[in-house]
Structure 1
Amino acid sequence: MYDVIGKTTTRTFRVLWALEELGQPYTHQQDGPHSDAVAALSASGKVPIFRDGDDVITDSAAILTYLADKHGALTYPAGTIDRARLDAFTHRILDEVDALLWTAARHSFVLPEEHRVPAIKAPLKWEYARNIDRLMQDCEGPFLMGEAFTIPDILLAHCGGWAMKAEFPADNPDFAAYLKRARARPAFKRALATA
């Protein structure tokens, strides 16, 4: 049994979704960033926190990779070209989509008010739209790697929901269809029900 700590409205959702895709049992504790429970396990105070026995992992992408490798699903074997392509999508999403959304969030409500630069959101939205267009051009089927639903799909679909809430551009029809397919998955719905 795994333990997951973090509010469902954060990147913690990615971990819950992956666990549902994998059919693995888990407990879920809805603590927010910097709460006592989180601070006790992570110096950064960030969520998600994932425990496998006494072992703790604190980054959503690292947790997804660990779970996928451990359970032999949502990924490809290490040392294969498919794994390299999957890892490339993963890092690309983290660099070109997630990082933009996180920067916008920091300048909206995370940073102290005197350090926020609201004007930064306009170029972030432009870059996000461009990067989504390029990702959709490289999408190989119903999901990024073709027929298989993998780690980068969880990351990208989660970011897509985050972007909608943050009022980032949503006019790419291919991305809208992609998000609809990803969010129709039974595991997504089960994870959403944990909120």
Structure 2
Amino acid sequence: MYTVIGKPMTRTFRVLWTLEELGQPYELNPAMPQSPEVVALNASGKVPVFQDDGETITDSTAIITYLADKHGQLTAPAGTLARARQDAMTQLCLDELDALLWTAARHSFALPEDKRVPEVKDSLKWEFARNLARIESRIKGPYLMGEDFSIADIVFTHCLNWAFSAKFPIESQAVLDYSKAMRAREAYKRTAAQAK
């Protein structure tokens, strides 16, 4: 059985949602970032931490990619152009959305107080809105990659949820509708129930 370590309200959510979509059993240890048990497995103290058969994987995208590849679902096959496009979209979401949200979070609570620059958030919100519009223009169907739900949708939806909680405005009705449809998925609902 897989073990997932991390609070569900963090990027751990991505891993839990992936496992729920795949229908795979797992054990959840809702440890906090920087806790001794997390630091023992990941020197950065970041979550999620994932264990499979005694092996540890860190980084939510690495974990969900591993799971999708291992189970042959939620992804295009490795070595295909479809996979290259999916990986490009996933990385785009990470670079253009996740990175901005994490920078805002660091300047809200993660950095030492004397290192925070709260004024940077207005610039980050502007950049987020610009980047989100570019990503929206590339959506080819009901899902980011067209007709098939993939791990790119998990990353993108998680970023949209994070933006909402961080008060980053999302003004596009198409993006709001997409996000609502993703949150209506049964696997998403099961995951969200754990994050309460």
Q: Is 1:16 aligned with 2:7?
A: no
Could you tell me how far 1:157 is from its partner in structure 2? Answer: 0.2
What is the CA-CA distance between 1:108 and the residue it aligns to? 0.5
Where do 1:37-48 residues align within 5 Å?
37-48=37-48
Please say if 1:56 is aligned against 2:45: no
Aligned residue in 2 for 1:160: 160
Q: Partners of 1:46 and 1:100 in 2: how far apart?
A: 17
How many residues in Structure 1 have an aligned counterpart in Structure 2? 195
1:69 equivalent in structure 2 = 69
Match of 1:31 in 2: 31
Identity %: 61
**1:36 Cα deviation (Å)?**
1.5
Tell me, yes or no, if structure 1 residue 90 matches structure 2 residue 64: no
Give deviations 1:71-92, integer Å, cap 9, x for gaps: 0011011111100000000110
SS at match of 1:193: helix
2:141 maps to 1:141: yes
Once the two structures are superposed, what CA deviation does each residue of 1:2-57 show, in whole Å capped at 9, x if it has no partner? 00000011000000000000000000011100112101101000000000011101
Read off the aligned partner of 2:70 and give its amino acid letter.
Answer: K
Q: Look up the SS of the partner of 2:137 in the other structure.
A: helix
Q: Which residue of 2 aligns with 1:111?
A: 111
Unpaired segments ≥5 residues, structure 2? none
Q: TM-score when scaled to structure 2? A: 0.98
CA distance in structure 1 between the aligned counterparts of 2:108 and 2:7, rounded to whole angstroms? 19
Kindly report structure 1 stretches of 4+ aligned residues shifted beyond 6 Å: none
Q: Distance in 1 between matches of 2:51 and 2:65?
A: 14
RMSD of aligned Cα (Å): 0.6
Structure 2 distance, partners of 1:142, 1:40, is: 41
How far 1:122 sits from its partner (Å)?
A: 0.6
